[in-house]
Structure 1
Amino acid sequence: MSTCAAEAAVLPPPRVKPTNGTTFKPSDHYGHTLDPAADVPLLLKRYAGPQANIGR
């Protein structure tokens, strides 16, 4: 038996992690629509990278 297997044999089983509440649907709070996949390359060229109107 390797060292890792021997260590694993004495470790307690993993526990289920508790949650911190419920989730929400982003669409309930943010209005958005999906762009057609064919438009994504153009949108990336237009909006990716530094924007002159951001941060002023």
Structure 2
Amino acid sequence: MPEMDKRMEINELQDAIYEQSLVFLALKTRPGCEAKLAETRERIIRIYHRIQTLA
């Protein structure tokens, strides 16, 4: 993968982590959203691992 494409994908993934973090924080303030909170947390972890493999 060319370096520029890799950098662009990493930037997009970082944006996705930011967006999912906002969702996570919003869900954390709501009672009864434990399942969605866990899903969001797992999504953030998967995105983070993808960034690690690209870096």
TM-score by length of 1: 0.21
Which structure has the greater CA radius of gyration? 1
TM-score, normalised by the number of residues in structure 2:
0.21
More helix by share: 2
Higher relative contact order (CA 8 A, sep 6+): 2
